Structure 1
Amino acid sequence: MKNTIKFLFFAVTLMLSANTMAQSIVTGTVLDPETNEPLPGVNVIEVGTTNGVSTNFDGIFSLKSTSVDGKVAISYVGYEKKTVSFNGNTSLGNIMLLSNNTLEEVVITGSGIIDLAEDRNTPVAVSTIKASEIREKAGNWDLPEVLKSTPSVQNIKGGGFGEGSMFLRGFDQTNTAFLLNGQPINGMEDGKMYWSNWSGVLDVANAVQVQRGLGSSKLAISSVGGTVNIVTKTIDRREGGFVQQMVGNNDFTKTTAYYSTGVNEKGWSFASLLGHWQGDGYVDYTAGQGQTYFFSVGYQPNENHTLNFLITGAPQWHAAAGRGSIGTFLENGRRYNDWNEAGVNSPNLIGGRYPGGRNIYHKPVSNLTWDWTINDKSELSTVLYGSLGRGAFASLITDRNTGEALYARGSNNNHNWFGLVTNYSNKLSETLSLNVGADVRTYNGIHFRGVTEFLGQDSVNTGSTFLGDYTINEAYGINPWEMVFNTNTTAADRMSYNYEEVITYYGLFGQLEYSKDAVSAFFQGAISNQDHLVTNEFNYEDSRESEKVSNLGYNLKAGAAYAINDSNKVFVNAGYYSRQPFHDNLLDNNRNSVDLIKPAVENEKITGLEAGYQFGGEMISANLNVYHTIWDNRTVPNSNGENQESATYEAYQNQGQKQVHSGVELEVFTRPMENLRVNGFLSLGDWKYKGEVTRRTFNADGVEIGEQEKIDIDGLNVGGAAKVTGGVNANYEILPRFSVDGAWNWYNDQHSEGPYGQDTPPLSLPSYQTVDAGVSFKALVGKEKQNSIQFRVNINNVFDEVYLESVFGTEAASSDPSQNYKGINKDNNGRFGYGRTWNTSVRFNF
């Protein structure tokens, strides 16, 4: 027995000694090739193992390997992954990571939730904008402006602050899924995005990834155009921060400050950002102002668990801009804003006038994420989130006889939104991996009208059929901070309408992926259900509640890829969606009744096919994608406007609408010289309607009027966005840390929006192009040059191009040339794009 114990002791000692002898220490320093600065937080993983470390503040790493020789994979946000071999105790010296437009890995919590294309070996059509580019190009714009140099994306700026919109492959942004750290942020009622509510999101963005078409989403969502993933800061590995001051055209000013403690020895980290902006707006009388706040707390009790809590918001108000006739703009200039009345005695005048429309909103968003590394093969990521939306669109109400301003009437759209997203991943074998997840949301929308601000009087007399006559004496105000805590919700302070809805969404997701050598393939499926319940508390003696409506939907995706060699890869993906209609399309009249649409609205049917080719070289890389999307059985609020015969407001809804979007996208990235980068893209699309639709017409009160019509739309062009887009952007480093850049964008084959029919087809709009330019300089400061001061200047639309950004209407060109503008009848409504604008900033990084 003693001999046996001695033998086992000897054997264990021998194995431990052999293991110790086999170990080696690999060290190195990771640098940015453009600035020669160290990159902290870079991930260094021993290939074939889970053994890894991160670089420190000076970009240095030291990895203890269990092998005498092998390879390490080095990856960082916005840089190309690099694999380096080692043999024994090795110093790899300085390692330069080349910058690119892909997103290899983001060091944040909830990483298993966020839908990054690099999480899957089978590719999708994707473009990534990293933090440095966002910081330089964003300026005083919203997210769509930053994305305009990616294929099949068009940004429509709109009139006032935050009123822009985005098209992706010809689909508007209600049909593109936007995610913030894995949290869906499109409106649950109608899919809309209001960028004024997210004015601070780019200040805290680590990266933004645009997945066109089918994408690689891990949620049970059915986005048609694609998915935009906004990845924000959470846990920063190192201590530091910045202070930035920006000024721009039309008295724009913005001050931002950020600080992070880094991760301390006990695993805690704290980060916060505060900002304030204000400006007069490019369009006349569209002043606005707002704040941005962000606060994050992270905790890593051990290497297997990471938790993070964050809260962010962007309270703001801004005056809106109306959309007038083309002729009116030509007479008054493209800055003209016809949505204003004469000045009144009010403390809230803008340029001597009270705005005809003012948006006021505050949407605090918070989430708690938990990442759990269960073992070497499996992980669980969970995000619990919530948001409270409070605000209104305030319209000026005047005396019909005298024109005197009486009060501002607010159309309030409040909500309470809570949800949970969780994802479990397991590497079943060397070739097979599994992802399963769940997405649960509940949304309570609260809608009513009330007095935002009294102007020429201090009370309003109103009433309804069932409530009788009453007087409103209380105003909700125009302060977005106060609106969040305003509990004044009695019927006595509301007018016109007062209703609520509860939407409950729950979905399951699953994906199986196979990857071996040059071949990868995946199959993905999701199923979801939506419950809808509406309560009307205004037009009935007692609160009236609708029947609960449930809609079941699902989607299926599959794809495969083949790596021809290290530089060439091809792929093909296909998908089918049965997508539930938006909540607002389910109701016959959401303001004044709780009845459902008759006939009942059925699910939309979406079929997507796409294929691609990827080439990656040292000096040039390229992506080529083709797509074909069929979108059938749509229910869509097609348009609204004024009936020319009766001079009354009308809104239209199309049922059974079908459209087909096909196209080709090419994206090229080149580095002809060490200090020069030139990138370009070209998108060729063909988007047409098919068959006929059933059109319903509603008056200003939302009541259906007239007979339902069958409208032939077969072969008509889909309007709103340009079918052909292209662009070239370049960055040239003249001296170390001093560079200039420029971007040219071209838009062609765009059509108007409107209530189409064969007798009233969409109009073909003139093409246009814009040129943007910028200059950047970074000065290293401090004893060890660890801090820096960055200077940036942006000039958009350098040559002050005059162009029609969007047109709503179908009025054909007049036979009198003087009544047309570039072939478009001046009586059509529309909006011209912004002229030359600029902003400049100075930023101190510490």
Structure 2
Amino acid sequence: MKKITQFLFMSLLLLSTAAMAQSTVKGKVVADGFPLPGANVVEKGTSNGVSTDIDGNFTLQTNAASGSIVISYVGYSSITLKFNGSQDLGSITLEADNSLQEVIVVGTGVIDIAEARQTPVAVSTIRGKDIQLKIAGNSEFTESMKNTPSIYVANQAGGFGDSQLFLRGFNDTNTAFLLNGQPINSVEDGRLFWSNWAGMADVANAVQIQRGLGSSKLAISSVGGTVNIVSKTTEQKKGGFFRVMGGNDSFMKATVAYNSGVNEKGWAFSVLVDHWQAHRKYSIGTAGQGQNYLFSVGYKPNDKNTFNFLLTGAPQWHDQNFSNDLEEYELYGEKYNGNTGFKDGERFSERRNYYHKPVANLNWDYNINEKLDLSTVLYASWGRGGGTGMLGRGSRIRNDIGEIVFDDIVDNNVAAADSNGFAGFNDARVRRASVNNHNWYGLLSNLNIESGENWTFNVGFDGRLYKGDHWRQINDLMGLSGFVDNFRTDRPDDYVFTTEFDANPWSALFETADESERTQFDYSENINYLGGFGQAEYSTDKFSVFVQAAVSTQSFQRTGRFIGTGNGLGESEKINKTGYQVKGGASYNLDEQHTVFANAGTFSRQPFLDNIFRDIRNSNDLVQPEIENEEILGLEAGYRFTNDVFRFNVDVYRTEWGNRFLSFGTELPMDEFGTYRFTDVTQIHQGVEFDFEYRPIGGDFTLRGYGSLGNWKYEGSTPFTLQNDDTTVFLETNGNVELTDVKVGNAPQTSFGAGFVYNITEGLSVDMDYNLFTDLYEFVDVEDVVDAALNDTTYQAEKLPAYTLADAGVTYRFDLGDNKMTFRANVNNVFNSAYINQRDNFGYFLGIGRTFNASLRYNF
């Protein structure tokens, strides 16, 4: 009886203790200033949870006197809050984890993010915190975007910064890239060289990919879509960080950043610097080295005005790898690089890219009143650098592992030289640099007008001035004292070059060859651009409609300083082209969870300058017949679904791109290169794409995925010419080639991906992404196309093998005193899959095998 009494007493004591340990936690969850119904509130480490009511309120009976609760809602960043006894936590704000509003400190009116307009577009957003965790220095910045629909990243094996990005099958020349609202594609040919932006992973706060028509108001018309990069500016919070990083093939990097915070007079400063280097990226002979810097100063004199000045740049050099035949990879291995070898006992390459492109902008945000605000940015960039290659017809010898024997080139040059150590083009071989310098200035301004409760208007201005200078100079005389060359000039036959210019991004800023030291070609390009745009949108809680229009005029003029091909001296005729775009759309909210939308647009886009002239390096003559504007018609529709644990988006699209110009590089005899020129080509890209995110109650696990199914092909026939890049037109053919139903290559038309993030314990998480790529075709083999036309047969692009890739990572965050430490490790291509990444007219690019990196970051 005594034991039974003791047992009952202890049981009552335990029950009373447990009852006393329970707590009642209350609060209200809001997002964007409004209550968030259906948000999950869970006691951390348990399945005990509730959902917020229609007013965002919750009451949770916990099982402990103290602990933590996790509040989550799909599409928003989860938040963990501690409690100690019964308490009311008050208003709790969740931030949208795909929103850019809170990271845009300046330029709020000129940075065209999707949420600035109510009518939806096909969009994906990558936050800066994810970029800086996953994209280390030996991974390309472009790879931060690869787990999104209709994005393909190729040619990573080419060297540091040589990757290419495709959006809905369109390459970077036909996708608009904006940095804080300013365009950064090359004005001359639309290309984007990612090596010029090698530090973007460190300075990016977010990237938003707007596929197709997008929400950009600029007077530009992109075919594939718009990629908005929002960089760091002047941070308002005081603090900084130091990070060290290492990876495969001796990669190392160190970064330090500091923010002063805003002082009592409204001033704030931010600075970031880093240095990286590696003896190769993955393939042999792809060494690289560079720096990255950012300086920003902000000033807020009052509530109406905000100013910010930003200067950033990423000087770098890297040796390059080009495509090769499959037989060469079989002979020499998958890391083979046909550009490299040894010179004087050190690794040496024919091909080195070096560039320094400082970018500066001054932003002014003027809040005129509650209904009216003006944003203006004045920007400039000064690109200096180029790329090396060999010059001359002297012998080039390879050893039994396929590498160039540069010491033999030196010996042959010395043997061919005269008593002064001089040799000429037909007997010697030297390394030259093709210099591509530019000065680019622009002004972009947008006035935003709120009219009543439902109307929003935007009007703006976009102006740009650009001058590019291009020539060749001697980089390495390869054992000679001088190189004799009077190519396409009125110089004497024995004209000799004796000065060498470093292939170095820092010296390129200050060391410039004068006209007497330039060879092969020497010319400038002037491109002036003026555009205006406007937008009107009407929106209610149930639906929205918008219409947008832009018009621009662009002038082109070439100035030659060599005789060239008969008409290379002096200024060319000035060409003016006018372009426009008109687009509109509507959306309808079926209820709080379901939205449908549709958009349509038509563009008339000016041709690139490089396509206007018959031989841009050597002649002021225009292409005949004259190149006209390209015409684009885009249609898209979509559906959005969101509830507390699941988000799903699906889009369908069709883009018809007519009257376009195509050029294809090809090899010619005598180590020369040529270009096929096709005109009046039509491409049709259509498909469906989707993405989803699932975050179950508790928020410790997130599953995401995407899919893209496309049908991209050429349509119609086209005339063509074949031109020698170094001399004159090598071959002209008056016939047509048939391209109907030929698949568009270089990007997979079908791709799927899935990934997860799992928070194992507080501070420790693992993540993995898995991707499948198929229906990948070669870039049109122009020689086969021409042969098919001449032989009256049908050409079809080669289909490359499908492949899969898996990437994984682990993150551990912990406290060190009052500061935070973050350890991150990444393994890319976990299973070391072998695959063909791309095929161009010169050969195949193999993909990168398994790579890794790890970093340790200290926040203070």
Q: TM-score, normalised to structure 2's length?
A: 0.84
Report if the CA contact (8 A) 1:696-1:709 is conserved. no
- Seen in structure 2, the aligned counterparts of structure 1 residues 401 and 801 have a Cα distance that, compared at 3 Å, is closer
Report if the CA contact (8 A) 2:99-2:125 is conserved. yes
- Give the corresponding residue for 1:95: 92
Q: After superposition, what is the alpha-carbon deviation per residue over 1:185-207, rounded to whole angstroms, capped at 9, x for unaligned?
A: 00000000111110001101110
1:666 maps to a residue whose letter is F
- Give the corresponding residue for 1:529: 553
Report if the CA contact (8 A) 2:435-2:472 is conserved. yes
- The answer to whether residue 320 in structure 2 is matched with residue 302 in structure 1 is no
1:802 maps to a residue whose letter is A
Give distance in 1, aligned partners of 2:551 and 2:243: 45
- Seen in structure 2, the aligned counterparts of structure 1 residues 368 and 104 have a Cα distance that, compared at 3 Å, is closer
Report if the CA contact (8 A) 1:355-1:396 is conserved. no
- The answer to whether residue 391 in structure 2 is matched with residue 394 in structure 1 is no
Q: CA deviation at 1:455?
A: 3.2
- SS of the equivalent of 2:369 reads coil
Give distance in 2, aligned partners of 1:606 and 1:750: 24
Report if the CA contact (8 A) 1:797-1:835 is conserved. yes
Give distance in 1, aligned partners of 2:484 and 2:455: 68
Q: CA deviation at 1:748?
A: 0.5
Give distance in 2, aligned partners of 1:805 and 1:111: 38
Report if the CA contact (8 A) 2:241-2:858 is conserved. yes
Q: CA deviation at 1:401?
A: 4.3
Q: 2:508 aligns with which of 468, 480, 483?
A: 483
Report if the CA contact (8 A) 1:497-1:539 is conserved. no
- Give the corresponding residue for 2:405: none
Give distance in 2, aligned partners of 1:114 and 1:77: 26
- Give the corresponding residue for 2:595: 569
- The answer to whether residue 771 in structure 2 is matched with residue 739 in structure 1 is no
1:445 maps to a residue whose letter is G
- The answer to whether residue 151 in structure 2 is matched with residue 126 in structure 1 is no
Report if the CA contact (8 A) 2:273-2:292 is conserved. yes
- Seen in structure 2, the aligned counterparts of structure 1 residues 542 and 168 have a Cα distance that, compared at 3 Å, is closer
- Give the corresponding residue for 2:816: 781
- SS of the equivalent of 1:144 reads helix
- Say which is worse superposed, 259-268 or 538-547, in terms of deviation: 538-547
- Say which is worse superposed, 599-608 or 649-658, in terms of deviation: 649-658
- The answer to whether residue 806 in structure 2 is matched with residue 771 in structure 1 is yes
Give distance in 1, aligned partners of 2:599 and 2:560: 45
The 5 A counterparts of 1:176-255 are 176-255=175-254
Give distance in 2, aligned partners of 1:626 and 1:331: 45
Give distance in 2, aligned partners of 1:776 and 1:158: 27
Q: After superposition, what is the alpha-carbon deviation per residue over 1:420-442, rounded to whole angstroms, capped at 9, x for unaligned?
A: 11100001221111001111001
Give distance in 2, aligned partners of 1:365 and 1:575: 32
Q: CA deviation at 1:572?
A: 0.2
- The answer to whether residue 476 in structure 2 is matched with residue 449 in structure 1 is no
Larger Cα Rg: Structure 1 or Structure 2? 2
1:289 maps to a residue whose letter is Q
- Give the corresponding residue for 1:61: none
User: May I ask how many residue pairs the two structures share in their alignment?
Assistant: 750
Give distance in 1, aligned partners of 2:600 and 2:78: 28
- Seen in structure 2, the aligned counterparts of structure 1 residues 76 and 652 have a Cα distance that, compared at 3 Å, is farther
- The answer to whether residue 843 in structure 2 is matched with residue 829 in structure 1 is yes
Q: CA deviation at 1:123?
A: 0.4
- Seen in structure 2, the aligned counterparts of structure 1 residues 795 and 46 have a Cα distance that, compared at 3 Å, is closer
- Give the corresponding residue for 2:609: 583
- The answer to whether residue 142 in structure 2 is matched with residue 144 in structure 1 is yes
- Say which is worse superposed, 285-294 or 706-715, in terms of deviation: 706-715
- Give the corresponding residue for 1:818: none
- The answer to whether residue 833 in structure 2 is matched with residue 801 in structure 1 is yes
Q: CA deviation at 1:699?
A: 1.1
- Give the corresponding residue for 1:290: 290
Give distance in 2, aligned partners of 1:136 and 1:453: 40
Q: CA deviation at 1:479?
A: 2.2
Q: After superposition, what is the alpha-carbon deviation per residue over 1:266-309, rounded to whole angstroms, capped at 9, x for unaligned?
A: 11010000000001221101101000010000000011100000
Give distance in 2, aligned partners of 1:561 and 1:703: 54
2:255 maps to a residue whose letter is T
Report if the CA contact (8 A) 1:77-1:130 is conserved. no
- Give the corresponding residue for 2:354: 360
Give distance in 2, aligned partners of 1:29 and 1:237: 31
Report if the CA contact (8 A) 1:43-1:75 is conserved. no
Q: TM-score, normalised to structure 1's length?
A: 0.85
Report if the CA contact (8 A) 1:749-1:764 is conserved. yes
1:410 maps to a residue whose letter is A
Q: CA deviation at 1:500?
A: 0.3
- Give the corresponding residue for 2:524: 500
1:625 maps to a residue whose letter is D
Give distance in 1, aligned partners of 2:163 and 2:300: 39
Identity across matched positions, percent: 43
Q: 2:855 aligns with which of 837, 841, 844?
A: 841
- Seen in structure 2, the aligned counterparts of structure 1 residues 360 and 78 have a Cα distance that, compared at 3 Å, is farther
Give distance in 1, aligned partners of 2:647 and 2:74: 18
2:555 maps to a residue whose letter is D
Q: After superposition, what is the alpha-carbon deviation per residue over 1:340-367, rounded to whole angstroms, capped at 9, x for unaligned?
A: 24x223xxx7xx3320100011100000
Give distance in 1, aligned partners of 2:74 and 2:678: 44
1:833 maps to a residue whose letter is G
- Say which is worse superposed, 758-767 or 568-577, in terms of deviation: 758-767
The 5 A counterparts of 1:662-673 are 662-673=686-697
Q: After superposition, what is the alpha-carbon deviation per residue over 1:299-353, rounded to whole angstroms, capped at 9, x for unaligned?
A: 0001110000010000010101121101111222111101124x223xxx7xx33
- Seen in structure 2, the aligned counterparts of structure 1 residues 713 and 288 have a Cα distance that, compared at 3 Å, is same
Give distance in 1, aligned partners of 2:119 and 2:765: 36
- Seen in structure 2, the aligned counterparts of structure 1 residues 475 and 643 have a Cα distance that, compared at 3 Å, is closer
1:762 maps to a residue whose letter is A
- Give the corresponding residue for 1:619: 645
- Give the corresponding residue for 2:61: none
- Seen in structure 2, the aligned counterparts of structure 1 residues 120 and 184 have a Cα distance that, compared at 3 Å, is same
Give distance in 1, aligned partners of 2:761 and 2:445: 47
Q: 1:520 aligns with which of 544, 548, 573?
A: 544
The 5 A counterparts of 1:682-831 are 682-701=707-726, 703-704=728-729, 705-753=731-779, 754-755=781-782, 757=785, 759-782=794-817, 785=818, 787-809=819-841, 829-831=843-845
- The answer to whether residue 643 in structure 2 is matched with residue 649 in structure 1 is no
Q: CA deviation at 1:94?
A: 6.2
Give distance in 2, aligned partners of 1:81 and 1:609: 36
Q: CA deviation at 1:702?
A: 5.7
- SS of the equivalent of 2:256 reads strand
Q: CA deviation at 1:244?
A: 0.6
Q: CA deviation at 1:631?
A: 0.3
- SS of the equivalent of 1:202 reads helix
- Give the corresponding residue for 1:681: 706
Give distance in 1, aligned partners of 2:376 and 2:31: 23
Q: After superposition, what is the alpha-carbon deviation per residue over 1:354-382, rounded to whole angstroms, capped at 9, x for unaligned?
A: 20100011100000000000000011000
- Give the corresponding residue for 2:431: 408
Give distance in 1, aligned partners of 2:194 and 2:702: 31
Q: After superposition, what is the alpha-carbon deviation per residue over 1:564-599, rounded to whole angstroms, capped at 9, x for unaligned?
A: 111111100000000001111001111111011110
- Give the corresponding residue for 2:368: 374
**Which residues of structure 1 form unaligned runs of 5+?**
1-27, 34-41, 48-69, 83-89, 810-827
Give distance in 1, aligned partners of 2:200 and 2:568: 42
Q: CA deviation at 1:96?
A: 5.4
Q: After superposition, what is the alpha-carbon deviation per residue over 1:155-208, rounded to whole angstroms, capped at 9, x for unaligned?
A: 002411111001100001110000000110000000001111100011011100
- SS of the equivalent of 1:112 reads coil
Give distance in 2, aligned partners of 1:224 and 1:340: 37
- Seen in structure 2, the aligned counterparts of structure 1 residues 693 and 30 have a Cα distance that, compared at 3 Å, is farther
Q: CA deviation at 1:76?
A: 14
- Give the corresponding residue for 1:509: 533
- SS of the equivalent of 1:197 reads helix
Report if the CA contact (8 A) 1:260-1:270 is conserved. yes
- Seen in structure 2, the aligned counterparts of structure 1 residues 506 and 29 have a Cα distance that, compared at 3 Å, is farther
